[in-house]
Every structure is written in C-alpha cells, then in structure tokens.
Amino acid sequence: MAAMSLDKILQSQGFGSRKSCRAAVEQGLVRIGGQIAPDWSQTYSTEGLELTVGSVSIPFREQLYLAMNKPSGYECSSRPSHHPSVLSLLDDLCRNRNVQPVGRLDHDTTGLLLLSDDGAFIHRQSSPKHHVPKLYHARTARPVDAALVSAMLQGVQLHDEDGPLRAISCEQTGEHELDIVLEQGKYHQVKRMLAAAGNHCTALERVAIGRLYLKDLGLASGAWMHLLPEHRALLSPEALS
Ligand code: URA
C-alpha cells in the first residue's frame, strides 16, 4: 500500500479539511501507533496504521463498508424530505467520507441496509444484473393464501413496468406473514407486488442480503457497524453461486 503524508491520511479518514488536520497535528492531538506525531508532512505506510485524534482511535480504512439495522422513520437519502436521513445515525467520520446507502429502503421499512463510499461495491450490490438476492419478511393485512404465494412466484404486472415482476422465492411463514426473495430493487417493489396480488403490506423488514443475515450481526434497531472481511465474503459473487 502506498505511503501518504499524515495530513492526507487524516483527511482521507474523515477527520476534516487538510487545514484542520494539519492544525490537529501541530497541536499535538494526533498519535500514530500511540506516539505523538511530530509533523503533518511525514509519510506513513497506511497498511495496519492505527490513528488517534484527540480521544478517537481508528484503524486506517481505505474504503468503508457498513451494515445498519435501519429503524422505521428514516429516509435513505442524503437530502430527505419528510424524515431524518439514515446518514444522521452515523458518526462524523463516516459522513465526512461521503458514505451512501446501497439502494433504498422505504422510510417505514426496517432491517439490513448496507452503506459504503466504494462506488463499484454500491453498483455491484444494487444492480439487478448482478442478481444479489434480498430476503424480506413481510406482514400482510389479509391472511396469506396459496393464490397470493403463487401470484408472487408466477409474476405480477405493475402498471408502470414492461413485463411482470416475480419473486425468486416466496414462502408463507405465518397467517399474515411471508418471506420473499427479490433480485431487483424497484420502487416500493414488495409493497406494490403484494398489492397487485390482492393483499396489502402492513410491515416490511429486510432480513438478508446475499448470504449476510441481519440476525447474525447483533445490531439493535438504529445501530451500525463496520463489516468484517468475513461479512463481505457473504456478499461476494462467489458466495452467491
Ligand atoms: N420493497 C418495498 O416495497 N419497500 C422497500 O423498502 C424495499 C422493498
């Protein structure tokens, strides 16, 4: 990994403008591997670098890959219109790095949301061409029956789509509950498909993306974490084949 000057390293990690990062070093607020850094122009190899600014310590991360347990009442937009943005639940370091949600969940949908500042990762996870399955748990207003499950699997025609949209799988899990797997992420897709099939979605949670399950991450509602390499492996094309 390339060596970089300390001011650039700090800026790349979200600690603010180059000017404010230089000022932090000059004030003796920055430690590298536990030692006060003497000079912002000094270069360091970023591999395995541990940085401390004031009371905040982080490992150098070239890119950010986050998972959040999205609560209801938040929008997946950086310019929300009616509810706060999911980005407001992150810390300043992540927000300063321009982390973006991978696809969108409705404001009232809960569950697994990925966020990243890696454009190629965002594209791979959200493009239907890459067939990343997303598992949703839906509650319905009226009881689920075999006709509903069959319609979701055969395909339902939504008024603004060229052809029918079908679920990759659809299983009844309770009188008013369904597990639905989709590979696309069209606007309100689960809710619109259930409505077109004659029912109404009253609650929706995304419980897995690829082979990454929310329940295995131990995230409380509204909490988020940095994905570990083993978590990212569960999202890779190899894990899906
Ligand atoms: N389908 C929906 O209807 N809403 C979501 O938030 C996600 C999938």
Encode pLDDT of 45-101 as tens digits. 999 999 999 999 999 999 999 999 999 999 998 888 899 999 999 999 999 999 999
Within this chain, domains 65-129+211-240 and 133-209 share the same CATH topology: yes
106 CA → ligand 1 middle, Å:
6
Query: Is 158's pLDDT higher than 80?
Result: yes
Which is the closest atom of ligand 1 to the Cα of 191?
A: 3
Q: What is the pTM of this model?
A: 0.94
CA distances from 70 to 110, 139, 149, 202, 219 (A): 5, 17, 27, 17, 10
CATH hierarchy code of domain 65-129+211-240 = 3.30.70.580
pLDDT value of residue 23: 97
CATH class for the domain made up of 133-209: alpha beta
Instruction: Determine how many CB atoms are found less than 10 A away from the CB of residue 164.
Output: 13
Q: Is 118 helix (H, G, I), strand (E, B) or coil?
A: coil
Residues near ligand 1 (Cβ within 6 A): 105-106, 109, 188-191, 204
- Residue whose CA lies nearest to ligand 1 atom number 4: 188
Which is the closest atom of ligand 1 to the Cα of 182?
A: 8
Query: Is the CB of residue 212 less than 8 Å from the CB of residue 230?
Result: no
DSSP state of 108: T
Q: In terms of CATH, what superfamily is 3-59?
A: RNA-binding S4 domain (3.10.290.10)
Phi-psi region at 188: left, alpha or beta (left = phi > 0; alpha = psi -120 to 50): left
